[in-house]
Amino acid sequence: MYIKLKEIADIQMGYSFRSRLEPVLTGPVAVIQMKDLLVNNTVDTKKASRIEMPTLNKSHLVQAGDLVFKSRGNNTESSIIESDPGEAIVASPLIRIRITDTNIVLPAYLNWFIGQPPAQSYFASRAKGSAQRMISKKGLQELEVVVPAIQKQKQICELARLSAIEAILTKKISKRNTKVISTILMRYAKGDAV
């Protein structure tokens, strides 16, 4: 079943600051920026800049399960907020995606789907700008999401998680093998017994 993203999620542009952010070490509000999006498609809210924001509109607050979408740049991907971030907001040009009914779509599944070839092809066809690609909020809303049964979504998420772990372990093994072979070849080059 295909469902447009706007039918299953509330999509909100990140907060647009009028001036440069002035972080305050003990500020009560965390501001999620591009630097807080990790390579594993999660959000690191612990290292987010903190600010004072006396006129905070509660509708801007993010919560666990929200996705943060990169609307600008070459990588049109999302990252999931896995745990309660406390008082936190998303800064523009990021976009917050909140699933409206988790009985239909799991946040982790949507996070995975956005990174898949059909979604990436869609974004490539909707991107505006030549120097820096940009996906508009409207373009994001029109994304057609393949929505299988919840049980199947859970299975897909688990397999994707295991695949990511396998990729990390394979990379570590490859690095270690390269180091071992390099050490052996260096010994051989020096005339040492191998």
pLDDT in tens, 19-62: 777 777 778 899 999 999 998 999 999 889 898 887 778 888 99
Inter-residue contact 80 to 41 (CB < 8 Å): yes
| Planar angle of CA 79, 80, 83, nearest 5 degrees | 145
DSSP letter at 140 equals H
Number of Cβ atoms within 10 Å of the Cβ of 97: 25
| Rounded mean pLDDT, 169-174 | 94
Q: Is the pLDDT of residue 11 over 70?
A: yes
Inter-residue contact 122 to 144 (CB < 8 Å): yes
Inter-residue contact 78 to 68 (CB < 8 Å): yes
Q: Is the pLDDT of residue 152 over 90?
A: yes
pTM: 0.86
Task: Compute the distance between CA of residue 60 and CA of residue 40 in angstroms, rounded to an integer.
Answer: 24
Residue 94 DSSP SS3: strand
